[in-house]
Amino acid sequence: MWRKTKFWIVLFSALFILGVGAFLLLRSGDTGGRTARITLDGELYKEIDLDAVALPYDIRIETELGYNIVHVEHGAISVIEADCPDQVCVRQGKISGSLVPIACIPHRLIIEVVGAEP
């Protein structure tokens, strides 16, 4: 009886240690800073190192489809104004991580943050 219990304890301990090790390895893999990538109609428009931003500033992006005003600050980026009908990009607010990009579908604008912790 003790041998079977000991086997399971050793097995679960080893799996736990491997899991924690894999988690730590994945979290420490990216040592770069946060970079915002702004793409228009699938083409890279601008890359911004969000960790290097000292003072907040705005970028006005105009196309034949309309305009967006993008607010850039240290560690975060957002769309603060747009003339699209649904205003989803404006209501989304700031992003600083890489989980969900800002998307303005009517203007074909995508803003994503890469190199950030999710």
Q: What is the pTM of this model?
A: 0.70
Query: pLDDT band at 18, cuts 50/70/90?
Result: confident
**Order of strands across the sheet that contains 76-82:** 57-63, 66-73, 76-82
What is the rounded distance in angstroms from the CA atom of residue 10 to the CA atom of residue 106? 57
| pLDDT tier at 25, thresholds 50, 70, 90 | low
Q: What per-residue confidence (pLDDT) applies to 97? A: 82
pLDDT tens-digit readout, 26-78: 665 444 688 999 999 999 999 999 999 999 999 999 999 999 999 999 999 99
- As a residue count, the chain comes to 118
